[in-house]
Amino acid sequence: MLQAKFSVKDVNLDPTLGSDTGKIRPCIIVTNDVYNQRVPVIQVVPIFFYSFDCNEPIHVHVRREKMVCKFWLDPITLCENHGFTPKELNRIRRIIQINVDKIFEAWHEHCG
């Protein structure tokens, strides 16, 4: 099955490296479609929530390497950014807009 670049898919992150939690989480696919057709391993960027944030309005965190940002979801608005370029933030915002229903579902699963 082709995994399209910039789509959001549930990914089993177990086993993990570093501080990522080993479980199924929504992730943004960042490898290009040609690569995804030919190689059985794809590169993803996890979308995540913190349990201590569940009392805040619905939002999502996105992390790649040492960069992290936080977007409110209703309306979709940048809340915090640490390291992403404006171009990357616009791309992340578009990905969130396209996949907002799936992200809302993941939020409610995580925060109740």
Residue-wise pLDDT tens digits, 11-22: 777 765 555 555
With CA atoms as reference, report the closest residue to 28 among 40, 13, 41, 11. 11
Contact assessment for residue 73 and residue 59, using Cβ atoms and an 8 Å cutoff: yes
Is pTM, for the whole model, over 0.75?
no
Q: Domain limits of the chain?
A: 8-111
Tally of helices (H runs) and strands (E runs) in the chain: 3, 6
pLDDT at 21: 56
pLDDT, tens digit (0-9, with 9 covering 90-100), for 35-88: 667 776 767 777 778 888 899 999 999 888 888 999 999 999 999 999 999 998
Query: By percentage, how much of the chain surpasses pLDDT 90?
Result: 25
Average pLDDT over residues 99-106: 86
